[in-house]
Amino acid sequence: MHVLVATDHYPPEANGHAVAAAWWARALVEAGLRVSVVAAAREPQPALFEHPGYREVWLAASRALPEGHPLASLWTGATALRALADDPPDVVHLHGYGPVCARVAARYRDVPVVATVHQFPEGAGVRNWLLVHPTMRWALRRLFARAAVALAPSRRAAERLRALTGHPDVRVVPTGVDPAFERAAVADEAADEGGGGAADEGAGAREATVGGAPASAASAPTGTGPGSARTTGTPRVLYVGRRSADKRFETVVALAREHPRADWCALGSGAAPPRVPWPDQLRVLPQAPAVDVAAAMRASDVLIAPSLNETQGLAALEAITVGTPVAAPRGSAQAELLREGVSGALYDPSVPATAWQAILRAAALSRAGVRASAAPYRRDALVAAMRDLYVEVGAGPRSGPPAGLR
C-alpha cells in the first residue's frame, strides 16, 4: 500500500504538528507500507530517514512570509509533485489543512482521503496570525469535507472538529511516542521483572543530562509512599514544551515561587517575558533529542502538563510511557490519557492551589502502574488501527485482524 502524507509542517520544524506527521510517516514505513511525504520549506531538506519505502517531495515555501506562517506555501508551484506521477498513491492522508494539503487533495481527486487535525485556527498562533485565521477556518471546513474519515488525536479535539466542520465521521486516533520512550519503558519493565526495582526505587538512579545540565536534582527521593520526598513537598517536577502563555507556563512559574523546596525543571523553548524574571529555583533547559527527554522524564517524579490548548498532549503520553505520573487540568486533552490515582492526578485549572495537591498525589503513584496504563497507545496498536482505516476507505486489503478505532 502506498500512502501519500501531505503536511504543511514537517521536520526540521519542531512543533507538535511536525512531530506528529513525522511519527506517522516513520511508523507506517516500519510497518511495511510505502510512504511519500509532501511538505514545504524554503530550501529542500535532507531526508528525515533513509528507507527504500520512503521518500520526500518538497514544495517551495514563500520567503516573503515568516517561517511557519500558515500561508507560507500558498503560492508554491506544483512542479515537484510530478515526481509522484509514476507511482500514484492508494490513499492520501492530509495532516492539517494548509496550502500543501489543499494542493495535494486537488491533484488526487480520485484517491481516498483521510484527514487528521493537529491544531485549530484559534490555537497557539492566534496572536501572530490573527488576520489569516478566518481563511484557515474556511480551509479546514473545505478540506475535511473532502475526507472519507476525519481524525483527531483526542476526544476533546474530535468534538471541536465536529463543531467546526460538521463532518459525519470523526474518529479518535492518537499519535504515538518516539521509540526512545518505548525503549526506556522496556528497560524499566525488564528491571522490574528481574527484581531490580528501577521503576519504583527512586528516580535519581536514572540521572539524565540535558544541554550540559543535570535533568534531575542532586539527590534522589528515597521512596514512593507517604512520608517520602515525593509526597512531603520536595518532588522533582518537570515541564516539557514551549514556555509560553498559550501553554499556561505561568502555572509552573507560580508553583515554583510558592513551593521552592521542590525541584523544578522546564525543558523546551521560550524566554522569560521582559521585567518578569523566572524564579531562581526553576531550572530552564533547552529543547533536546527524544532520548534525552525520555531520560529527563524518568529522572523526575511528576510531569506537569498545564495547557488547555492541546489537541493531544504528547508530553503527557511520553511521560506515562516511561512511568512518570502526570498532573494535568481537568477538561484538557492530556487528561483523557490519565486515570486518576493510576497514571496521574487532575486539578481544577480555575483554582491554582489544586495543581500543587495534584502534583503530590501523582508523585505517590507506582511507576509500574503508570507505565502499564500507556499500553493502549503503543505503536503497533496505533499503526494497525490506521492501516485498517486505510483499507476501510478503499486503499487495499486488510493485512490482519481489525484493531478497531475509538
Q: What is the pLDDT of residues 274-294, one digit of tens each?
A: 777 888 899 999 989 999 999
The CATH homologous superfamily of the domain defined by 179-376: Glycogen Phosphorylase B; (3.40.50.2000)
> What's the chain's length in residues?
406
pLDDT band at 59 (very low <50, low <70, confident <90, very high): confident
Strand partners, 170: 150
The whole model's pTM is what?
0.84
Mean pLDDT check: name the lowest of 111-115, 156-160, 187-191, 216-220.
216-220
Is the confidence at residue 174, as pLDDT, over 90? Answer: yes
The counts of H helices and E strands in the chain are 11, 15
CATH: 1.10.10.10, 3.40.190.290, 3.40.50.2020, 3.40.50.2000. Which one for 2-176+378-392? Answer: 3.40.50.2000
**DSSP class per residue in 59-125:** EEPPSSSPTT-TTTTTT--SGGGGGGTTS--SEEEEESSSHHHHHHHHHTTTS-EEEE-S--TTSGG
Angstrom distance (rounded) from CA 256 to CA 265: 9
Q: Are both 2-176+378-392 and 179-376 of the same fold? A: yes
Name the amino acid, one letter, at 174.
P
The alpha-helical segments, DSSP class H, found in 31-69 are none
Question: Which of 4, 2, 1 is CA-nearest to residue 80?
Answer: 4
Question: What average pLDDT does this structure show over 349-377?
Answer: 94
Distance (Å) of CA 42 to CA 14, 58, 138, 196, 273: 16, 9, 25, 50, 30
Name the amino acid, one letter, at 94.
L
Cα dihedral across residues 134, 164, 376, 334: positive or negative: positive
Structural domain boundaries in the chain: 2-176+378-392, 179-376
Assigned C-alpha cell, 322: 516511561
Tell me the pLDDT tens digit for each residue of 337-359.
Answer: 999 999 999 999 999 889 999 99
Is the confidence at residue 131, as pLDDT, over 70? Answer: no
